[in-house]
Amino acid sequence: MDKLTVVSACLFLAADVFAIASVASPNWINTGEERGALAVGLVRQCQTIYGRYQTCTATRLPPAWAAALALIITAIVSLTLTCGLLLASQWRREAIKYACQVAFAGMVFMCIAALVFPAGFYIGEVGGQPFKLPNNTVVGSAYVFFVLSILFTIGGLLFAVKVYSNG
């Protein structure tokens, strides 16, 4: 494997790890309420009561968040497949072409998820409006991981296209 392919594979792997971590974490949106802080995620939500006890339950997903979750999971599958195709390109050089196409599809899925997710800010736990968080609420670390996975995917795609164009 040449250096650009290794860099591309590492960026896609990092994007995959960040995307998986973001889905698994309940810290997509954090509220700082007086009686307890609430962390809302795509899969679960956790509330810390009076700074002592943390209780986690499954999240009731609004349609926008269910769509975002499905898109992110599809992107995770695409990124994993891209890493496999880049590994296979060591033996079959034409696999890089397919890796670029699958990675581009994964990037599109993530970008659409980033656009769809804020439409679900209206749920009772958050108390906002679509695309507008209330003042006492902030995006959490899981959302930052998700954005980082988009950036790493774009970077990996740039390197993969460079490898393909040199091929």
* Nearest residue to 10 via CA among 77, 143, 18: 18
pLDDT of 128: 85
Angle between helices 3-24 and 141-166 (to 10 degrees): 160
The mean predicted confidence, pLDDT, of the chain is 91
pLDDT at 38: 86
Mean pLDDT of 116-122: 92
Per-domain boundaries in the chain: 3-166
pLDDT value, residue 165: 87
Per-residue pLDDT of 42-97, as tens digits, reads: 999 988 877 677 888 887 889 999 999 999 999 999 999 999 999 999 999 899 99
Neighbours of 84 (CB within 10 A): 15
* Residue 162 reports pLDDT greater than 70: yes
CA distance 11 to 138: 28
Strands 29-32, 36-40: pairing kind: antiparallel
pTM: 0.91
pLDDT per residue as tens digits for the range 28-39: 998 876 555 888
| Rounded Cα–Cα distance for residues 162 and 123 (Å) | 43
pLDDT at 32 (0 to 100):
73
Summarised one tens digit per residue, pLDDT across range 1-19 is 689 999 999 999 999 999 9
pLDDT value at residue 136? 84
* pLDDT for res 59: 78
Question: For the residues of 89-156, what is the DSSP string, one character each?
Answer: TTT-TTHHHHHHHHHHHHHHHHHHHHHHGGGGTTSTTT--BTTB--TTEEE-HHHHHHHHHHHHHHHH
Question: If you average pLDDT over residues 153-166, what whole number do you get?
Answer: 92
33 Cβ contact list (under 8 Å, min separation 6) = 136
Block residue for tokens 């769809």? 116
pLDDT the model gives residue 167? 65
The correct answer on CATH 1.20.140.150 for the domain covering 3-166 is yes
Looking at residue 60, what is its pLDDT? 81
